[in-house]
Amino acid sequence: MNGHAYQIYRDPDTGKIIDVKVFECLVVDGGRPPQTPPIPDPPSPPPGPPGGTNWPPEGGGPGGDNPPAGLPEGPEPCTQIEPPAYCQPKEPEPCETNGKYPVLEKSEDALNQLWEKQQQTGKEQVGIFVPFLDSYSFQSLDDFVIYRSATQVRFKVDTSTIPNGAIYVHTHPDRSTVAAFGISYENYHRASIHDKNALKILGVDKGFILDEGKILVYNETGIKDTVDRCGY
């Protein structure tokens, strides 16, 4: 006569039933206890690195150049004392224009500050480079701004306060911001009518646009040159 035996697996921490296995057994010799096959051990947990962090097998992992496909059950990797390589911010490329644009070569800190502020606020940032001795100083135009958004900035300024030889500099939004506004990145990768008007308002003849991929050099007629992204 056949019968059935049941093996119940419980979570050792909570006591909840996590699995039940049913085994068929055979009763012989007039009702002696059923003989059941050997009961297998519960399945082992999936392998993982030391410390109990259960990373998925694909997608990189601790120490790799790319973030892992899933998140760890432990602390955020980028907050660790020695975070993985993908957590480290990339250092800006130095500006090397062979003397063509010395203002860029000598103003890398200002370029980086402008771009970082644009990334933090999601709005365009503006300023001017002013010749000073054998270098340049940066002056923000924030005090003159009357309107600012992710894709446009307007300001009102007395041109008599702008030093001779000043160069206008401002940021353009990155690709993801432009896409959020439904603007083609290729079409935005240029000097807009607002960019050109800003030169007239300031009374300067040249400007730099810090774009996601390039630094655009322009005047009132449009783009005149491009420089590989540097300084930010």
Domain boundaries, the chain: 102-228
pLDDT classification of 191: cutoffs 50, 70, 90: very high
CATH architecture of 102-228: 3-Layer(aba) Sandwich (3.40)
Q: DSSP secondary structure string, 210-228?
A: E-SSEEEEEETTEEEEEEE
pLDDT for res 57: 43
Q: pLDDT of 54-68, one tens digit each? A: 444 444 444 444 555
pLDDT computed for residue 190 by the predictor: 87
* Residue 185 pLDDT greater than 60, yes or no: yes
Question: Is the full-model pTM beyond 0.85?
Answer: no
- pLDDT above 90 covers what percent of the chain? 48
What number is the average pLDDT over the span 179-206?
86
Position 131 confidence tier, pLDDT thresholds 50, 70, 90: very high
Of residues 50 and 98, the one with the higher pLDDT is: 98
User: In the predicted model, what is the mean pLDDT of the chain?
Assistant: 79
Of the two residues 116 and 19, the one the predictor is more confident about is 116
For residue 175, name the pLDDT band (cuts at 50, 70, 90).
Answer: confident
The whole-number average pLDDT for the span 142-158 is 93
Question: What's the pLDDT score for residue 223?
Answer: 95
21 pLDDT band, cuts 50/70/90, is low
pLDDT higher than threshold 80 for residue 109: yes
Q: Render pLDDT for 69-81 as a digit per residue (tens, 0 to 9).
A: 554 555 666 777 7
Q: How large is the average pLDDT for residues 94-118?
A: 95
Band (pLDDT 50/70/90 cuts) for residue 6 is low
